[in-house]
């Protein structure tokens, strides 16, 4: 199993020299399992460069995209890449999206309303490829040879975290997680997702000082991300969903602080997600 980051930022995309190292696109990652179609984590603006990576490979093979995406929730930073995903321009392309059930209607009725006038000049149905939506809650299901566990995570709106098990390895993906005010207790659903995981990708948007001002904005601190990974017996923590105000230097400093925490001694590694990097889990 390989994990590649295409969007690591939270809240909104950003650009400029101060974001060169870790990137400015919002949440999107790719899990590759040998013999399986692509498995995509979230549909943020990182989906556009992912599409640019996949399109020439598909064209060289002469076949349209067949892929699955796991959507944590419907906030803009997790869906903005969808209409810019190049492989969906090809006839016969199919993207299956598993995402959280919505009150008052399923994903099929809810999400396409964002990709239509007056919010966007075209509709999803005008793309040559097809996007199908599968509502899910606290469920377990198979995607190819991968076992996927979905669990509800504290965050404004119905939000899911995912656990992907394949090739004897486990990736836990929790990009948006409202930490408790005391930042001590870890919800059972989150512990279940992260238990013994080889890699935990976790919301690390704030420093402790920032959290004091934004305690109810739906996110976690770097220190709480370390606690979650350590409490669940995970091996490697990848700090994710970087705040748009954090420069490369800021993220480097926060990562350094995280590595010095007492709980970090229970982990094999603490890193910060950066666009374009790949983790080969066979080597973890």
Note the pLDDT tens digit of each residue in 221-233.
999 999 999 999 9
The string of pLDDT tens digits covering residues 101-154 is 888 778 998 999 999 999 999 899 899 999 999 999 999 999 999 999 999 999
The string of pLDDT tens digits covering residues 186-218 is 999 999 999 999 999 999 999 999 999 999 999
Strand order in the sheet with 146-152: 140-143, 146-152, 160-166, 169-174, 199-203, 236-240, 269-272
What is the percentage of the chain residues whose pLDDT exceeds 70?
100
Q: For residues 81 and 43, is the Cβ–Cβ distance under 8 A? A: yes
Over residues 248-257, the mean pLDDT reads: 98
Q: How many domains does the chain have?
A: 1
Residue 33: pLDDT above 90? Answer: yes
Structure tokens at 17: 């020299």
Please count the other Cβ atoms lying within 10 Å of the Cβ belonging to residue 101: 15
**Residue 104: its pLDDT value, please?**
75
CA atoms within 13 A on the CB side of 219: 23
Sorting pLDDT into bands at 50, 70 and 90, what band is 283? confident
CATH of the domain at 157: 3.60.15.10
**Residue 105: its pLDDT value, please?**
79
pTM of the model: 0.97
Ranges assigned E (strand) in the chain: 2-7, 28-32, 39-41, 66-70, 94-100, 130-136, 140-143, 146-152, 160-166, 169-174, 199-203, 236-240, 269-272, 278-280
Residue 32: pLDDT above 70? Answer: yes
Q: Can you give the residue range of the structural domain that contains 22?
A: 2-283
Sorting pLDDT into bands at 50, 70 and 90, what band is 284? low
Residue 282: pLDDT above 90? Answer: no
Q: What is the mean pLDDT of the chain?
A: 96
Using alpha carbons only, how large is the chain's radius of gyration in Å?
Answer: 18
Structure tokens at 214: 């934004």
The string of pLDDT tens digits covering residues 81-90 is 999 999 999 9
Residue 28: pLDDT above 80? Answer: yes
Structure tokens at 210: 């920032």
**Residue 89: its pLDDT value, please?**
94
């Amino acid at each position: 199993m390989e994990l590649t980051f295409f969007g690591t930022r939270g809240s909104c995309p950003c650009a400029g020299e101060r974001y060169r190292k870790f990137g400015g696109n919002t949440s999107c990652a790719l899990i590759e399992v040998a013999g399986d179609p692509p498995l995509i984590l979230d549909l943020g603006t990182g989906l556009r460069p992912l599409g640019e990576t996949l399109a020439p490979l598909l064209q060289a093979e002469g076949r349209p995209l067949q892929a699955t995406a796991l959507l944590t929730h419907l906030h803009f930073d997790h869906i903005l890449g969808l209409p810019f995903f190049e492989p969906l321009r090809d006839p016969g392309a199919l993207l299956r999206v598993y995402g959280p059930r919505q009150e008052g209607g399923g994903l099929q009725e809810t999400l396409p309303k964002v990709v239509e006038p007056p919010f966007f000049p075209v509709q999803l149905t005008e793309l040559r490829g097809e996007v199908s939506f599968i509502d899910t809650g606290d469920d377990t299901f198979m995607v190819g040879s991968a076992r996927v566990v979905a669990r509800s995570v504290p965050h404004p709106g119905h939000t899911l975290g995912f656990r992907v098990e394949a090739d004897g390895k486990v990736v836990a993906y929790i990009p948006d997680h409202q930490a408790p005010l005391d930042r001590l207790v870890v919800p059972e659903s989150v512990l279940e997702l992260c238990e013994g995981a080889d890699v935990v990708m976790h919301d690390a948007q704030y420093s402790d000082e920032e959290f004091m001002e934004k305690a109810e904005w739906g996110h976690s601190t770097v220190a709480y991300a370390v606690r979650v990974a350590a409490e669940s017996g995970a091996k490697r923590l990848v700090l994710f969903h970087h705040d748009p105000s954090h420069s490369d230097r800021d993220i480097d400093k926060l990562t350094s602080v995280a590595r010095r925490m007492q709980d970090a001694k229970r982990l094999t590694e603490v890193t910060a997600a950066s666009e374009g990097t790949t983790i080969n889990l066979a080597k973890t």
